[in-house]
Amino acid sequence: MPYTRTFVNDAGVMGVNANLIETVADLTKKAAAGNNNPLFTLGTTTGGEKLKAVWAKANATISADTATCAVDNTTFLATATLGTYKSPPVAMASGDYGWFTQASAA
């Protein structure tokens, strides 16, 4: 991928590749091969109290690096409105999966 963002948790340990997304097209190809599972389980989290990332599914089109994404804590669906998470540095279509990182450290 042409983008680079390093995610380091509170302890300074490398976490996730925040650039990673799994598109609807990727999932369709996997399903055709008999694998219906995304790379990670929805709601998978990494990081610590101050910085964390959550694997969520875009519930609508989300622009790259949107810093106001909301991630529902039950469904782990992400929207580009009134939230505290930042989307991956690539645009996402509805149905794409990706790592949403906290927009800023508390």
- Which of 3, 31, 34, 38 has the alpha carbon at shortest distance from 17? 3
Whole-angstrom distance, CA of residue 77 vs CA of residue 5: 22
Please identify every stretch of the chain with a pLDDT value under 50, giving residue numbers as ranges.
1-7, 9-14
pLDDT in tens, 27-38: 999 999 998 888
pLDDT value at residue 14: 47
Within 10 Å of residue 60's Cβ, how many Cβ atoms?
13
pLDDT in tens, 52-67: 889 999 999 999 988 7
pLDDT value at residue 2: 38
Residue type, 1: M
Whole-angstrom distance, CA of residue 72 vs CA of residue 103: 15
pLDDT value at residue 78: 96
**φ, ψ for residue 24 (rounded to 5)?**
-60, -40
DSSP, residue by residue, 70-96: EE-TTT-EEESSS-SEE--SS-B-TT-
pLDDT value at residue 105: 57
pLDDT value at residue 15: 65
